Amino acid sequence: MQPVGAAAPLRVDIAEKTFRSSEGVSVTALKNLAFEVRQGEFACLVGPSGCGKTTTLRILLGLDTDFSGSFQMPASDDGRIAAVFQEPTLLPWRTVEQNVRLALPKAMRHTDLTRLFDSLGLSQMRELYPSELSLGLARRVALARAFAVEPTVLFLDEPFVSLDDQTAERLRYLVLSVWSARPTTALMVTHNVREALMLSDRIILLSARPAHVLGYFDIRIPRESRNPQVMSDLARSFRQKFPGVMQAEMGYP
């Protein structure tokens, strides 16, 4: 039951985005950045750090309107969007459950969240305050909040950054399983190519500043069959298609 028009892709066509510092120095962050994310597709925006990935996300979230160009969200009646920020950004004065419920539209405020909390391993934490959570758990709450909204588009800004490898890996699997239960158009920003190869249908590779699209890397292998062997094959073909990118810019071994 998709709302009418939800089949439209997320279309981005940003002509230019420039930051001006107070000293009058201007830095062009994005230039002729154009790409599409098809409906129901999990896309990753990969690029060297500082290239303007987060800036792109902020523009799409409507948090930064000072740019030239346009973008088009998949049209739908209410067109809800959800975002997981680099930091969990939970309200410290509200409990875990309140944090999730507050993000829901009025009509959904009292929906049953048991399954969502269960699937993210948060059922015991519903009454805790964010200050009582580790970063990994706080990230899970931020993810729960985003998924609870049942968005038409989901934006993720490096949701696994600054976690230890084990926690990050577990969180990636959690995200995969929750997302697969209800696949929505998703755009994730990351500088970790391996993570992108594991999670996404399509990688959009950005250049260094000013960012534009260098190329696409489509992954047609279903996620559940991406075992270590397949992953290293994917990494090899990614390296062949974009030589030099992984080692130099993204610290990939």
Shortest Cβ 132–other proteins spacing (Å): 5
The span from the CA of 175 to the CA of 133, in Å, is: 19
**Which helix (H) or strand (E) covers residue 115, if one does?**
helix 114-119
Shortest Cβ 207–other proteins spacing (Å): 27
Backbone angles phi, psi at 105, to 5 degrees: -65, 155
Of the pair 107, 220, the CB lying nearest other proteins is at: 107
* Residues within the interface to other proteins (CB under 8 A): 61-63, 80-83, 85, 87, 89, 91-94, 102-103, 105-106, 124, 127, 129, 131-133, 145, 149
The span from the CA of 246 to the CA of 253, in Å, is: 8
Cα dist from 210 to 15, 112, 134, whole Å: 11, 45, 36
Of the pair 91, 181, the CB lying nearest other proteins is at: 91
Shortest Cβ 128–other proteins spacing (Å): 8
What is the per-residue DSSP string for 199-218? Answer: H-SEEEEE-SSSB-EEEEEE
Shortest Cβ 180–other proteins spacing (Å): 23
What is the per-residue DSSP string for 56-106? Answer: HHHHHTTS---SEEEEEPPP-SS--EEEE-SS----TTS-HHHHHHHTS-G
Of the pair 151, 210, the CB lying nearest other proteins is at: 151
Of the pair 120, 193, the CB lying nearest other proteins is at: 120
The span from the CA of 194 to the CA of 14, in Å, is: 27
Shortest Cβ 11–other proteins spacing (Å): 19
Q: Which among 92, 99, 97, 58 is positioned nearest to 189, based on CA atoms?
A: 58
Q: Which tokens go with 154?
A: 């989901």
Of the pair 106, 110, the CB lying nearest other proteins is at: 106
Of the pair 145, 202, the CB lying nearest other proteins is at: 145
Shortest Cβ 145–other proteins spacing (Å): 8
